[in-house]
A = this chain, B = another copy of it.
């Protein structure tokens, strides 16, 4: 070992994969270390605790998703550009690494509303919704907030449906509903 690659990042990536495959409580530190080929002392040099590692994983994923969504939205300024979020979901659902949403599952495992992890997961959803709202605001300022919330509800519904019932078409269905929603709100061009 002793490769040049930064251990910290490698730990985050490995933990991300294992948390996805197995869940948070069910994934022990030792397994992460074994799969990453990193010693325990190194992990605790970079992260104060398992909770800190979980938060680092969620933070990275949060940044990735936020950036990816923003990029999609920028490429289509029309109101219906927000539907891109469902296309992103759709391709995600087709992958073999799909085990549901990190944030939904984290929120479920750390269920106390005041828990740091629970709140971070909720904040992620809120921020994703805010991106959608910002995109819609110029076109329908009075309804943008509500529509954005409804879209996020559809996003989460699609994720859970795909996760629980292997319904790989859930994103396409949610997209249809969302399209009707925009149309009905007359928030189109």
List chain A positions with a Cβ less than 8 A from chain B. Answer: 20-23, 25-26, 99-100, 103-105, 107-111, 113, 118, 121-122, 125-126, 146, 149-150, 152-161, 163-167, 170, 173-174, 177, 180-181, 184
Bound Cα distance A146, B172 (Å): 12
CB contacts (< 8 Å) of A165 on chain B: these are 122, 125-126
Dominant secondary structure of chain A at its interface with chain B: helix
CB contacts (< 8 Å) of A177 on chain B: these are 150, 153-154, 177, 181
* A125-B164 contact given A111-B99, A157-B154, A174-B153, CB 8 Å threshold: yes
Bound Cα distance A150, B26 (Å): 32
Bound Cα distance A113, B21 (Å): 10
CB contacts (< 8 Å) of A22 on chain B: these are 111
Bound Cα distance A180, B158 (Å): 18
On whether the beta carbons of A160 and B111 are closer than 8 Å, the reply is: no
Bound Cα distance A157, B154 (Å): 6
On whether the beta carbons of B103 and A164 are closer than 8 Å, the reply is: yes
CB contacts (< 8 Å) of A146 on chain B: these are 173
Bound Cα distance A165, B99 (Å): 21
On whether the beta carbons of B109 and A108 are closer than 8 Å, the reply is: yes
Query: Closest residue to A152 on the B side, CB-wise?
Result: B161
- Select A163's contact among B108, B164, B170, beta carbons within 8 Å: B108
On whether the beta carbons of A164 and B25 are closer than 8 Å, the reply is: no
Bound Cα distance A167, B150 (Å): 12
On whether the beta carbons of B107 and A109 are closer than 8 Å, the reply is: no
3 tightest A-B contacts by CB? A157-B157, A25-B25, A105-B108
Query: Closest residue to A103 on the B side, CB-wise?
Result: B164
12 contacts between A and B (CB under 8 A): A21-B111, A23-B108, A25-B25, A26-B109, A104-B160, A105-B108, A105-B109, A111-B163, A153-B160, A153-B170, A155-B157, A160-B160
